[in-house]
């Protein structure tokens, strides 16, 4: 950070003045942020993320953080001598793996994020889907891609049944920043591991968020030539899925983004979490980063 040239007071004032229209436009609005990738593991980017979230809260915007933790879960399972097993890109979650998922996501990862936000001067509270009955879930039915008549059992992986945002709204009203682990609970009090992109998208819909921002390790959605697609509509997304441009781990992100855009979230942004202070740049400046998805 030391190689950044100092900014003169006059330039600082100009920068703040340029942010003012965005602060006014988004004051009191909710922004759901899916936090993942390098932004979660690189110490400088972690600090940038925490500062951005705290600044947004201080200027009257309501950030809600949903985090993943795939690499951290993998590391913990390796330490226990367990090998991760995947079907169609989905982690098979038996009872022992689910225990590890819970203590890594709701313990280690969530509390790290809460600590970073406190360090940056904010007040964060960690939640899982159990807290306040936030995320009710049921077992995910995974249909075989090649043979739709066949189903795979992926264990305690969940589909969202309903989200009750009361606890999130209560925290927001009390000046806290909610940090949510993507773990749901079922009718028999069982726990479910849920895709964090899906949780972020559904939560953005239920909270009627102004924006859903998904931090990734790529500049955004890229075409076959590797060029950034700054804006996508539903029809264009269907074409890109059909020709295989959008595949793998990008599919749940895009599916969630589309659902949110269709359900009233004003804009969905898939942004490059490797860019320092990307949240402030995306929300409080004219400069667009990554890919924006619109419903129409």
Q: Which residues are annotated as a binding site for substrate?
A: 69-70, 91, 193
Rounded Cα distance between 203 and 124, Å, is: 18
- Secondary structure (DSSP) of the chain: -TTSPPPPHHHHHHHHHHHHHHHHHHTT-EEEEEE-THHHHSHHHHHHHHHHHHHHHHTT-EEEEEE--HHHHHHHHHHTTPPP-EETTEE-B-HHHHHHHHIIIIIIIHHHHHHHHHHTT--EEEE-TTGGG-EEEEE--EE-SS-TT-EE--BSBEEEEEE-THHHHHHHHTT-EEEE--EEE-TTS-EEE--HHHHHHHHHHHTT-SEEEEEESSSS-B-TTS-B--EE-HHHHHHHHHTTSS-TTHHHHHHHHHHHHHTT-SEEEEEETTSTTHHHHHHHSS---SEEE---
72 in Cβ contact with 108 (< 8 Å): yes
Known binding residues? 69-70, 91, 193
Rounded Cα distance between 247 and 250, Å, is: 6
The encoded tokens of residue 273 equal: 């979490």
């Amino acid at each position: 950070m030391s190689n950044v040239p100092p900014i003169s007071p006059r330039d600082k004032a100009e920068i703040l003045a340029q942010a003012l229209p965005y602060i006014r436009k988004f004051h009191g609005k909710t922004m759901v942020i899916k936090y993942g990738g390098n932004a979660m593991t690189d110490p400088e980017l972690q600090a940038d993320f925490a500062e951005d979230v705290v600044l947004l809260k201080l200027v009257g915007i309501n950030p809600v953080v949903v985090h993943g933790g795939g690499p951290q879960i993998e590391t913990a399972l390796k330490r226990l001598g367990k090998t991760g097993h995947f079907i169609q890109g989905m982690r098979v979650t038996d009872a022992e793996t689910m225990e590890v998922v819970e203590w890594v996501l709701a313990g280690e990862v969530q509390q790290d994020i809460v600590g970073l936000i406190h360090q940056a001067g904010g007040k964060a509270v960690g939640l899982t889907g159990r807290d306040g009955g936030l995320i009710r879930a049921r077992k995910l039915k995974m249909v075989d891609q090649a043979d739709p008549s066949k189903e795979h059992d992926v264990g305690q992986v969940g589909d969202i049944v309903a989200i009750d945002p009361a606890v999130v709204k209560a925290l927001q009203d009390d000046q806290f920043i909610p940090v949510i682990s993507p773990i749901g609970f079922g009718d028999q009090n069982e726990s479910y591991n849920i895709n964090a992109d899906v949780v972020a998208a559904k939560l953005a819909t239920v909270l009627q968020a102004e924006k859903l921002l998904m931090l990734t390790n790529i500049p955004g959605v890229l075409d076959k030539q590797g060029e950034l697609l700054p804006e996508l509509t539903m029809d264009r997304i269907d074409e890109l899925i059909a020709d295989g441009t959008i595949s793998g781990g990008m599919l749940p992100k895009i599916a969630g983004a589309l659902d949110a855009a269709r359900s009233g979230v004003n804009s969905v942004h898939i942004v490059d979490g490797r860019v320092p202070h990307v949240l402030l740049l995306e929300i409080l400046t004219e400069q667009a980063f990554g890919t924006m998805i619109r419903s129409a």
